[in-house]
Amino acid sequence: METYATLANRYDRWNLSIAGQFQQAAVLAEVGDLSGRTVLDVGCGTGFYSRLFAAQGAERVVGVDLSAEMIAVARSFPDEIEYLLGDATLGALDGRFDLVAALWLVNHAETRADLDAMIKGFATAGHELLLVTTNADADWDFLGTHAKQYGVQQHPNGPAVDGRLPYVATIFHNDDSFSFQSGSWSLEALTNSLHAAGYRTIKRISPAADAPSPLAAKPPFMILRASID
Ligand SMILES: C[S@@+](CC[C@H](N)C(=O)[O-])C[C@H]1O[C@@H](n2cnc3c(N)ncnc32)[C@H](O)[C@@H]1O
């Protein structure tokens, strides 16, 4: 099992995998043109999505991440994106952004208290939220076996506690692979936490069904949009 400190240079193999590209298409279709808008990318990692948001026209993009190694990879790209080292569970995130994006971050909240703290932090940073995280209705049989051809596997590795099922994610790239610990929050836990933070509208986005079958029917991820207004 690896940590982001050791896999920072390889993490984007996920984003470049077939499943990662399917996710990317679904996210970009959802956010659309970001011209003139400001975006906070929480848990930005290597900045893969921060750069995509900038390419969608965002006027200002700020990325925040807990891992110095992931931030170092993000900062190695020549662009105007501002990257900050920070812990999303430690209270308010500064600024009023048009869009707060958190891709594959809440799955790293290990307790309901951490999940609530993260989501409250998102709400302080802006009224519009885009969340990408583990599919709450994951088909674990498919994701644990057949999804390897799309570059990813997800295996539960413990009992669900308080709405969170721990699992190991493995990313495959040519003959190489890496694994890290993650967790799948129930839709109920996420919804409760979003409501507690003041989000009123919560929408689950279904990815377009034009991905290599059966990935579209059983994606490893889900996208949630939440709005305070
Ligand atoms: C699975 S990666 C996703 C990276 C990026 N969002 C993407 O989709 O390419 C999760 C990232 O969340 C970061 N992270 C985990 N816990 C965090 C926290 N409490 N505050 C900020 N970042 C955190 C990790 O360091 C890692 O870079």
Tens digit of each residue's pLDDT (9 = 90 or more) over 182-210: 999 999 999 999 999 999 999 999 776 66
With a 6 A CB cut-off, is 199 part of the ligand 1 pocket?
Answer: no
The predicted model gives 212-223 an average pLDDT of: 88
With a 6 A CB cut-off, is 70 part of the ligand 1 pocket?
Answer: yes
Output the residue whose Cα is nearest ligand 1's atom 12: 43
Closest CA to 49 of 12, 18, 98: 12
What integer pLDDT is reported at residue 212 of this predicted model? 65
Whether pTM > 0.75 for this model: the answer is yes
What integer pLDDT is reported at residue 216 of this predicted model? 87
Distance 201 CA to ligand 1 centre (A): 25
With a 6 A CB cut-off, is 53 part of the ligand 1 pocket?
Answer: no
Closest CA to 45 of 172, 120, 153, 132: 132
The predicted model gives 140-149 an average pLDDT of: 90
For domain 4-137+186-227, which architecture applies? Answer: 3-Layer(aba) Sandwich (3.40)
The predicted model gives 90-94 an average pLDDT of: 78
Between 130 and 213, the more confident residue is 130
Distance 104 CA to ligand 1 centre (A): 7
Output the residue whose Cα is nearest ligand 1's atom 25: 67
The predicted model gives 2-13 an average pLDDT of: 91
Place of tokens 């970001």: 34
Spans of all domains in the chain: 4-137+186-227
Tens digit of each residue's pLDDT (9 = 90 or more) over 25-54: 999 999 999 999 999 999 999 999 999 999
Largest CA distance in the chain: 47
Decide if pLDDT at 91 tops 80. no
With a 6 A CB cut-off, is 49 part of the ligand 1 pocket?
Answer: yes
Query: What average pLDDT is seen over the chain?
Result: 94
Distance CA 220, CA 15 (A): 13
102's CB contacts (< 8 A; 6+ apart) are 41, 42, 43, 88, 118, 122, 129, 130, 131, 132
Give, in order, the Cα–Cα distances in Å from 10 to each of 73, 170, 174.
Answer: 10, 12, 12
